[in-house]
Amino acid sequence: MLNKKVKSIILAAGKGTRMKSDLPKVLHSIFNKPILGYIIDAANNTGFVDESFVIVGHEAEKVKEFVSGYCSSAKCVLQSPQLGTGDAVNKAAPYLKDFDGYVIILNGDIPLITAETLKKFVAAHTEANADLTAMSAIFDNPFGLGRIARDKDGKFIAIVEEKDTTEEQKAIKEINAGVYCLNWRTVAPAFNNLQNNNAQGEYYLTDIVKWAVENKLNVQSYILENNEEIFGINSKIQLAEAAKFLNKRTVVRLMEEGVQIVDPDTTFISPETTIGSDTLILPNVYITGKNIIGKHCKIGPFAHIRDGAQIGNNVRIGNFVEIKKSVIKDNTNVSHLSYIGDSELGSKVNIGAGTITANYNPISKVKSKTIIKDGANTGSNSVLVAPVTINEMASVAAGSIITKDVEAYSLAITRSPMKVISDWVRLQIKKLSGGNK
């Protein structure tokens, strides 16, 4: 157990010019969750970060709106203008005046960082009794990143930004990951001593290393095991790559837990989805948000589960089926071409092909619930206009539009009676050919 208080500072004030977007970089999403959300989660999931400061600047209002809705222990602090990463951290300093614990600093654009790594990182900092620990990684192509400079004895003495490197330093492959742990009391004075006399005219956070070395503090580096974790997002190409990495992590974990995934390359599953063993996921399935899926289910091919699904055991979600915010109990089938939204389906329900729960009123913007109880079934191409309940064992005839509750064990049918006009086709043919005679 850590006997220090830990707070985090997340740097998210930059514009992200290379995203070429109206949206600030940190609000771009992977599986419908902004990348900033992943970083806040990593900090929170360590279990020891009790408060986070998110430094906002570019499109600050939008970022603030997201953060305030997402996490109650995160506070936004405005940095305007954006004078560099060191200046960004300094904006949080007034809130940490008498703080005597650790501060973890994280760049806001590294959604693949994990709580596990942050825990090991802070443990290493504690073990070394360090004042400052910077996370580093070995990159074959370090271009563009800050380099870890060491003296002839291998002691970590500074971080040098790409634009400030000498020819010799350009060859260094150990880079600065942009994740730091500070003993706030001893390192905080560094932020009043930063200078901007560098190639970019910015106040660099990285200069605190040199300051700490000069002030005889204990400065350490921590080499990352898995470089993927600090994969930074600067463009939409990198956003797609990060999503792939994240997805791979999830599908591998699920397969290790006993889920059968036929084609991991075309299966996309959000990290917050849990799936029971022996469930079979067929190709081209897309699952976003937080969902619980049971054992022995069969999902896909081409199924879309959109968030808030609680699916029991032995459930079938077939092709071209979309599920949103719905509870589906054991042994129920939704096999083809259906939309189930804001619904509760009991067990042994059978949903016919093309059944739609009409949950949304576009005029009032109200969403309503559909309840389908145990053993009930719907015929193909039926529309259930919510709010509506189909009781136990009831049956909805194919092609029906259901606007009122259906009693248990009864049949609801809204179809107009079928009419057969004998010889109608013959008559048409005769009419056509007759005209030509």
Rounded to a whole number of angstroms, the minimum distance from the CB of residue 61 to ligand UD1 is 16
Which is nearer to ligand UD1, 83 or 254 (by Cβ)?
83
Answer for the pair 135, 159: CB distance below 8 angstroms, yes or no: no
Residue with smallest beta-carbon separation from ligand UD1: 146
Rounded to a whole number of angstroms, the minimum distance from the CB of residue 112 to ligand UD1 is 12
Which is nearer to ligand UD1, 59 or 87 (by Cβ)?
87
Rounded to a whole number of angstroms, the minimum distance from the CB of residue 59 to ligand UD1 is 11
**Could you confirm whether 296 is annotated as catalytic?**
no
Answer for the pair 398, 352: CB distance below 8 angstroms, yes or no: yes
Answer for the pair 369, 387: CB distance below 8 angstroms, yes or no: yes
Cα–Cα dist 182/346, whole Å: 53
Residues 6 or more apart whose CB falls under 8 angstroms from that of 322 comprise 303, 304, 305, 306, 338, 339, 340, 341
Rounded to a whole number of angstroms, the minimum distance from the CB of residue 136 to ligand UD1 is 9
Element of type H or E holding 148: strand 147-150
Which is nearer to ligand UD1, 118 or 402 (by Cβ)?
118
Residue type for position 317: I
Which is nearer to ligand UD1, 235 or 313 (by Cβ)?
235
Q: Closest by alpha carbon to 317, among 335, 339, 296, 342?
A: 335
Rounded to a whole number of angstroms, the minimum distance from the CB of residue 186 to ligand UD1 is 20
Is beta strand 174-183 parallel, antiparallel or unpaired with respect to 102-107?
Answer: antiparallel
Encoded tokens for 86 = 């060191």
Task: Tell me how many degrees the CA angle 410-414-420 measures, rounded to the nearest 5.
Answer: 115
Q: Which residues make up the interface to ligand UD1 (CB under 6 A)?
A: 11-14, 55, 57, 79, 82-85, 87-88, 107-109, 145-146, 159, 161, 175-176, 178, 204-206, 232
For 45, 76, 281, 371, 400, the CA distances from 341, given in Å and listed in that order, are: 30, 34, 21, 10, 18
Rounded to a whole number of angstroms, the minimum distance from the CB of residue 82 to ligand UD1 is 3
Q: Is the dihedral of CA 300, 303, 305, 310 positive or negative?
A: negative
Encoded tokens for 377 = 């079934």
Encoded tokens for 182 = 């500070």
Q: Is the dihedral of CA 100, 121, 83, 169 positive or negative?
A: positive
Which is nearer to ligand UD1, 102 or 204 (by Cβ)?
204
Cα–Cα dist 199/211, whole Å: 18
Rounded to a whole number of angstroms, the minimum distance from the CB of residue 259 to ligand UD1 is 34
Answer for the pair 12, 55: CB distance below 8 angstroms, yes or no: yes
- For residue 137, give the DSSP letter: E
Helix 60-70 and helix 35-45: axis angle, to 10°?
40
Which is nearer to ligand UD1, 12 or 113 (by Cβ)?
12
Answer for the pair 338, 353: CB distance below 8 angstroms, yes or no: yes
Q: Is the dihedral of CA 19, 23, 27, 29 positive or negative?
A: negative
Which is nearer to ligand UD1, 11 or 149 (by Cβ)?
11
Rounded to a whole number of angstroms, the minimum distance from the CB of residue 84 to ligand UD1 is 5
Answer for the pair 84, 196: CB distance below 8 angstroms, yes or no: yes
Given 58, 296, 304, 336, the catalytic residue:
336
Task: Tell me how many degrees the CA angle 73-78-84 measures, rounded to the nearest 5.
Answer: 115
Which is nearer to ligand UD1, 10 or 388 (by Cβ)?
10
Cα–Cα dist 239/38, whole Å: 13
Question: Which active-site residues does the annotation give?
Answer: 336
